[in-house]
Structure 1
Amino acid sequence: MVPKSKEDVLQRGRAFYEWATWSNGMFGRTPDYKNASVMAFAHAPGFLAQGTVGQADFVQNMINFYDEVRLNDKVLTHTLVNPSVSHAQFASGKFDREVALHVIKETDVGIIVKGARLLATLGPLADEIEVFPSTVLKADPSNIRFAFAFAIPIATPGLKMLCRNTYDHGKSNFDAPLSSRYEEMDAVVTL
């Protein structure tokens, strides 16, 4: 829902409250978590138009993606963090191109990337993954290969997810009331 009034925002809040009540506040990643951000992007054409270069139509691309997600009821996850080989490297905002997801080639139809990203919560249960620039990426010419954004289906050939151990150890809902019901599963994504 695109909120267009105070009542729309309140209605959305009531929906969040209902989910929290149903899940006792333990359902941290509802399937519409990232879908709401796609809706916000699709309804901000002025912002997206600032990035338009040459023939690229970022506004129409985002509207098309929003319609695809909305009309096909897709679940999204995302990654924002590049893994690093040391804390000092991470703190400096620099990334190792042998580990972190980076552009290896640009073509007429898009970019080709290689590497790993963290942390796709709900990843194995999602339909698509949004990949955004790292939240600690420093504005530096050497970091250009790490500055990109795209979305791809989870079923993309070559995409792999390395999942953490599950919190659900097969116990009954009685013995494990939270972990048996609210597993969101986090994963490292590699391409």
Structure 2
Amino acid sequence: MTADRVPERSTHPRRAVLKSTAAGAAAVAHLASVATATATPTNPVAAGEPVEIGLSVNGRRHRLVVEPRVTLLDALRERLGLTGTKKGCDRGECGACTVLADGDRITSCLTLAVMRQDAEITTVEGLARGEELHPVQEAFVRHDAFQCGGCTPGQIMSAVACIDEGHTGSETEIREWMSGNLCRCAAYQNIVAAVADAAKELR
């Protein structure tokens, strides 16, 4: 989370993702055309021409017509009405837009919707079972692990993945593996406590 708490020689998969997506961000037009060709290999379309895609989100299949350049974040918020996923920096730096794709955490502002047609997407809306909150959500409430709430959905989604990945052995480890999610209210101590608490319940 804060730079002074992260071991200098440690590596973080989210940082690797950010590095790999930086090149793609420098060539958005090329990425969009490649994604379109992947989505419709026998029927390519122009870069700005809408295409029909299918997205599996929270266990439901959706058909959408989008431009190839539409991000997964915008597809979720503006086309499907799933506004729990937040748009923060819109360039992959804050983690507010974190969702799970086949169980792996991704920043949805840095991936195109057409590129995630074969993935099972889980957003914060898909964690609860009716009125029963997910253990991570309950832990965030117990530990007051949020203030303004802007980063909370991304923090929760990243925490779910962090626990599933087994990176909750210590406070330092949790801080390292949650470091891709920023909190402008600096509620880090409570977030770490919530993740550790939820990890005990889910083990």
Shorter-chain TM-score above 0.5 = no
Higher strand share: 1
What is the TM-score with the length of structure 2 in the denominator?
A: 0.27
Higher relative contact order (CA 8 A, sep 6+): 2
**Structure with greater proportional helix content:** 2
TM-score, scaled relative to structure 1: 0.29
Q: Who wins on radius of gyration, i.e. which is larger?
A: 1
